[in-house]
A and B are shown apart, each in its own frame.
Chain A
Amino acid sequence: MTAIDWPAFLLVLVTALVSALVTVSLFAVGVRLLATPAPGIAVGDADGDDGEDDPTTPASTRPPSATAGAVVAFVVAAAVAVLGVALIIH
């Protein structure tokens, strides 16, 4: 009983690392796609702060494929989270 259960710990580390990376990356892809304006349209940055506090680019300049991709990314990220909750409930 004294020894620490290293295989279990490694399993926790790898699972946590992979699931967190997948979820965060998916969400980030969604964010990146939402910030995609149509090619060739310059987006003004009114306050010149590299857009950090600006609202998202107006939807009209974003190609529909980017919007759709973003939605898919967000939904899959949410699905991963729901799976995680389902695991502890059972």
Chain B
Amino acid sequence: MNEAVALVVLVIVFALVFDFTNGFHDTANAMATPIATGALKPRTAVAIAAVLNLIGAFLSTEVAKTISGGLLTEGEGASVSAGIVFAGLIGAIVWNLTTWYLGLPSSSSHALFGGLVGAAIVGAGFGAVDYGVLLGKVIIPAVLAPFTAALVAFAATRAAYAITRRQNEPDGRRVFRVGQIFSSSLVALAHGTNDAQKTMGVITLTLVAAGLQPAGSRPELWVVVACALAIALGTYSGGWRIIKTLGTGLTAVKPAQGFAAEVSTAATILSSSTVGFALSTTHVASGSVIGSGLGRRRREVRWGTARRIVTGWLFTLPGAAVVGAIAALIAGLGVAGIVIDALLGVGFMVAVFLRARPERVDASSLEAEVAAAGAVVRKRRETRS
């Protein structure tokens, strides 16, 4: 019995670690573009995003009843044990840290789903996964999301530039930087209402499975608070590498364009969660940045970076699944296996952070880079006139 309780505690700890990586992986979705245009200072931007994620986590009344929306057979006669959830979480965390190290904006939900699917297949057999749901609710939406967002952002950017275009007079487009503060905040809030729920679902399911909480009940208050804090802390710590990729790697973002991209991201996510057709925040945000880059007159999108990002997306689900599967294999050894898994997981986290240190990307280096980019643009303009 003590071992079972220990496992539940371990799952909760790793679920919160995943929630943290989810937060710092996704700061970029809301804050990469306002940082890139100088609308917000990096530290201010991540602080705003953290607070709004915290609020968002409490706001949403939509309770995650299942971890995965029917992806795995859960509940009555469930084949998914705490050990499998644990292995799946390790897969998700390892994948999130890997893509963070590479500076790739990849979907945290895909990492979680992938990890759980891989672990479930090894731990409970192929029958534990509903492949129809996997295709219809995860894979196809992942393909549609960036195109949808790109189309919306393209149209919105076109409109913004067409309406404010002026001949030989100031166009006042700097005002869009003020708008960006609000539009990026909206994205952060929408993110909080979505993503913290997933971890609450994982923890609640584990508590139910362990008989510590009645089936079908809402997440306990302490679970909601813990998840909200974990995602907010993660957001505040800022996934600077990914912010750099999304803010400066895809296209040079101008205020009007950044505003259009953020409004498009928020509109797409809000309408998708209202309709109940879930789209990944990350896929939507990346699509918006590309669409807004295409919507400007002098279109410039670095397709090499876009290709790297899309490759990352393709590998996220299977990559996390493989890690989850390996972790589940090891967990199959029993108590010793779980301990080995936990040690390997922690070891990997430490290793990635140590490896990332020499080439650190943080708030101040990013700020310097944005300033330098601005200086280059100004110089180019001076030589032009």
Indicate which residue in B59, B136, B190, B256 contacts A28 across the interface (CB closer than 8 Å).
Answer: B256
A64 to B159, CA, bound (A): 25
Nearest B-chain residue to A25, judged by Cβ: B159
Q: How far is the CB of B145 from chain A (nearest CB, A)?
A: 10
A53 to B375, CA, bound (A): 12
A15 to B268, CA, bound (A): 8
Q: Inside 8 A of A90's CB, which chain B residues have their CB?
A: 61
A63 to B182, CA, bound (A): 27
A27 to B151, CA, bound (A): 19
- Considering the complex of A and B, which 5 residue pairs feature the smallest CB-CB distances, nearest first? A51-B170, A35-B172, A2-B132, A28-B163, A15-B271
A71 to B30, CA, bound (A): 25
Q: Is the interface of A mostly helix, strand, loop or mixed?
A: helix
Q: Does B89 contact A (CB under 8 A)?
A: no
A41 to B103, CA, bound (A): 50
Indicate which residue in B148, B159, B163, B168 contacts A13 across the interface (CB closer than 8 Å).
Answer: B148
Nearest B-chain residue to A33, judged by Cβ: B172
A64 to B135, CA, bound (A): 56
Q: Inside 8 A of A53's CB, which chain B residues have their CB?
A: 174, 378
Contact with B along A1-38 (1 / 0, CB 8 A): 11111001101110111011101110111111011010
A88 touches B169 (CB 8 A): no
Q: Inside 8 A of B159's CB, which chain A residues have their CB?
A: 21, 24-25, 28
| Sample (16) of A-B pairs whose CB atoms are under 8 Å apart | A1-B132, A1-B136, A9-B148, A13-B151, A15-B271, A16-B267, A16-B268, A21-B155, A21-B156, A27-B259, A28-B160, A32-B164, A51-B172, A56-B170, A81-B186, A88-B270
Q: Does B193 contact A (CB under 8 A)?
A: yes
Nearest A-chain residue to B151, judged by Cβ: A17
Q: Does A48 contact B (CB under 8 A)?
A: yes
Q: Inside 8 A of A30's CB, which chain B residues have their CB?
A: 175
A16 to B174, CA, bound (A): 25
Q: Does B365 contact A (CB under 8 A)?
A: no
Indicate which residue in A27, A52, A88 contacts B60 across the interface (CB closer than 8 Å).
Answer: A88
With contacts A2-B136, A49-B381 taken as known, whether A32 is within 8 angstroms of B275 at the C-beta atoms is no
Contact with B along A65-89 (1 / 0, CB 8 A): 0000000000001100100110111
Nearest B-chain residue to A70, judged by Cβ: B175
Contact with A along B144-181 (1 / 0, CB 8 A): 10001101110111011001101011111111100100
Nearest A-chain residue to B131, judged by Cβ: A2
A34 touches B172 (CB 8 A): yes
With contacts A23-B263, A24-B263 taken as known, whether A4 is within 8 angstroms of B182 at the C-beta atoms is no
A34 to B190, CA, bound (A): 30
A43 to B155, CA, bound (A): 31
B60 touches A17 (CB 8 A): no
Q: Inside 8 A of B59's CB, which chain A residues have their CB?
A: 88-89
With contacts A5-B277, A8-B275, A28-B256 taken as known, whether A20 is within 8 angstroms of B136 at the C-beta atoms is no
Contact with A along B343-385 (1 / 0, CB 8 A): 0000000000000000000000000000000000010011001
Nearest A-chain residue to B277, judged by Cβ: A8
Q: How far is the CB of A48 from chain B (nearest CB, A)?
A: 5
Q: How far is the CB of A52 from chain B (nearest CB, A)?
A: 7
B381 touches A52 (CB 8 A): yes
Q: How far is the CB of A31 from chain B (nearest CB, A)?
A: 5
B163 touches A20 (CB 8 A): no
A4 to B137, CA, bound (A): 7
Q: Inside 8 A of B140's CB, which chain A residues have their CB?
A: 4
With contacts A16-B271, A24-B263, A32-B163 taken as known, whether A51 is within 8 angstroms of B171 at the C-beta atoms is yes
Q: Inside 8 A of A45's CB, which chain B residues have their CB?
A: 168-170
Q: Inside 8 A of A43's CB, which chain B residues have their CB?
A: 169-170
B164 touches A35 (CB 8 A): yes
Q: Does B28 contact A (CB under 8 A)?
A: no
Q: How far is the CB of B11 from chain A (nearest CB, A)?
A: 28
Further 18 A-B residue pairs, CB within 8 A, beyond A50-B170, A53-B174: A2-B136, A9-B144, A15-B275, A16-B149, A17-B151, A19-B270, A24-B264, A27-B263, A29-B163, A31-B176, A45-B170, A48-B385, A50-B385, A52-B381, A56-B175, A78-B182, A84-B270, A87-B274
Indicate which residue in A16, A28, A77, A87 contacts B152 across the interface (CB closer than 8 Å).
Answer: A16
Indicate which residue in A13, A29, A35, A85 contacts B270 across the interface (CB closer than 8 Å).
Answer: A85
